[in-house]
Amino acid sequence: RTMKLMIIENSSENQIKCALRIEALSERDKELLDLQIKVVTEKEYEDRLDQADVLILGSGLGDSALTVARTARAKFPWLNIIMFVTDKAYAEGAFRTVHTEGVRKALPDGASPNDLLQELIAIQAEFKREGRARDGQVIVVCHAKGGVGATSVVAALAEVFATCNRRTMIWDLDTVSRDLSRSLAAVGDESRLVDGWINGSLDVSRESLRDALVPITDEVFLLTPPSGIGESIDLVCHTDAILIVERIIEVSSSLFDAIIVDTAGQMGPATGALLRSADHVIIVIDDGQLGITAVDMFLSVLKTLVGNSSKISFLVNSFTGAYFSNSQLASHLESGHDIGKHAWRLPPVPYDPKAALWPASGFTLFSKGSSPLRDAFLSIAAELGIVNKNQLPDQGESSPPRSGGWLQRMLGR
């Protein structure tokens, strides 16, 4: 959501002076704050207060600034007000009295642009906590060994989130076989933009990210791996990729409700950055003996990379349904790693042979499978906190697949 700033000053000269404080911020900061700026005089501001989130009162208003603040807060108590005063007035303690009129912060004219930036970032953080600004949750899906269905889980979760009206980005990090991209028939030129990020010919920005995304439905977008071999190697192995990955997460979190990353077994500096920045780390395992022993070895490395074990969740993808239950798997792995009961709260994905046919079908594991399987994924989405349980759609045995948009996308390609 755009942060709407309204600058109120008494003359064109002072308005420009105040606006230049915003221009002094870095392009990156202005983009992430997504600022929309209006400049008005004290004679016209009252009719436009409903168009503002933040008021910036210039020092040229003098004593009338407090009247403006008082009037604005009376009409819209949630407005954030930042007031500039002359350096002399600030030194004389003007900042001590402004708070009684609802002013959030008083700054001297000589303040650094970073002082203003700090307040704007704090306001944005409050907006995110209140749900007034998007703060996308980062979900990293990984696995200890191949063939456990991690890619299927990523696609299915994306469809669940879309079903619940959550704008979602899925990120394919499989630089070798590109399973997620191929399963969704995403074979366009968008990956060349990812190449540009890696080789330094293009900056990661809102605009370049939007251009790099492959639309799957109105709510789901796919970020493909790089197309070049050199860029693919650098993304996985080079430490410079850490800053690129962090920037992608930073930008995408302001555009999407959820970012789901398919690590595809890749382990390197970029993966480590993703694991550290993730809100949730899902380890997909199967219900067989090889799954247990692989995860046992994998956890020793993963816990170090994640840093905070409370972010880890296990998701059992029951390929057979004939081997180990969640409780048996937990009993075995907890004895050596002590992740905690919280890590085992996600319901297992029921075995469903029909669901395995989803790649290139136009559907995902979620909409291709049976009602119990769909119920499991809806519960997983709720447990992750991406959707509210009260908002989950009702699933019936006779419910048809709910992903016409996916099918249309596939046929379109």
Q: How far is CA 329 from the centre of its chain?
A: 31
pLDDT band of residue 412 (cuts 50, 70, 90) is: very low
> For residue 399, what pLDDT is reported?
41
| Predicted confidence (pLDDT) at residue 96 exceeds the cutoff of 90 | no
> For residue 28, what pLDDT is reported?
85
pLDDT band of residue 135 (cuts 50, 70, 90) is: confident
SS3 22: helix
| Predicted confidence (pLDDT) at residue 400 exceeds the cutoff of 50 | no
| Predicted confidence (pLDDT) at residue 391 exceeds the cutoff of 80 | no
pLDDT band of residue 413 (cuts 50, 70, 90) is: very low
| Predicted confidence (pLDDT) at residue 8 exceeds the cutoff of 70 | yes
> For residue 320, what pLDDT is reported?
56
> For residue 33, what pLDDT is reported?
87
Asked if 56 and 7 count as a contact pair (C-beta separation under 8 A), the reply is yes
> For residue 340, what pLDDT is reported?
80
Rg (CA), the chain: 25
Of 96-105, 110-119, 393-402, the range with the lowest mean pLDDT is 393-402
Q: What is the mean pLDDT of residues 231-248?
A: 92
> For residue 401, what pLDDT is reported?
42
| Predicted confidence (pLDDT) at residue 172 exceeds the cutoff of 80 | yes
pTM over 0.85: no
| Predicted confidence (pLDDT) at residue 321 exceeds the cutoff of 60 | no
**Mind listing the pLDDT tens digit for each residue in 27-44?**
888 888 888 999 999 888
Looking up tokens 């009206």 gives 165
Between CA 47 and CA 15 the distance in angstroms is 18
Tell me how crowded residue 51 is: count the other CB atoms within 10 A of its CB.
11
Burial 103-129 (b: 16+ CB within 10 A, else e): bbbbbbbebeeeebbebbeebbeebbe
Got the DSSP string for 47-103? GGGGG-SEEEE-GGGTTHHHHHHHHHHHH-TT-EEEEEE-HHHHHTTGGGTGGGGT-
Of 12-16, 376-380, 387-391, the range with the lowest mean pLDDT is 387-391
Q: How far is CA 381 from the centre of its chain?
A: 15
pLDDT band of residue 362 (cuts 50, 70, 90) is: confident
Task: Report the chain's mean pLDDT, rounded to a whole number.
Answer: 87
| Geometric angle at alpha carbon 157, from 247 and 295, rounded to 5° | 80
> For residue 289, what pLDDT is reported?
67
| Closest to 179 measured CA to CA, from 264, 119, 111 | 264
Got the DSSP string for 163-180? HTT--EEEEE--TTT-HH
| Predicted confidence (pLDDT) at residue 48 exceeds the cutoff of 50 | yes
More confident residue, 320 or 155: 155
**Mind listing the pLDDT tens digit for each residue in 187-211?**
778 999 999 999 999 999 999 999 9
> For residue 71, what pLDDT is reported?
93
| Predicted confidence (pLDDT) at residue 282 exceeds the cutoff of 60 | yes
Percent of the chain surpassing pLDDT 90: 56
Of 32-36, 59-63, 126-130, 400-404, the range with the lowest mean pLDDT is 400-404
Percent of the chain surpassing pLDDT 70: 90
pLDDT band of residue 324 (cuts 50, 70, 90) is: low
Q: What is the mean pLDDT of residues 338-348?
A: 86
pLDDT band of residue 407 (cuts 50, 70, 90) is: very low
> For residue 323, what pLDDT is reported?
55
Torsional class of 340: left (φ above 0), alpha (ψ -120 to 50), beta (otherwise): left
> For residue 178, what pLDDT is reported?
92
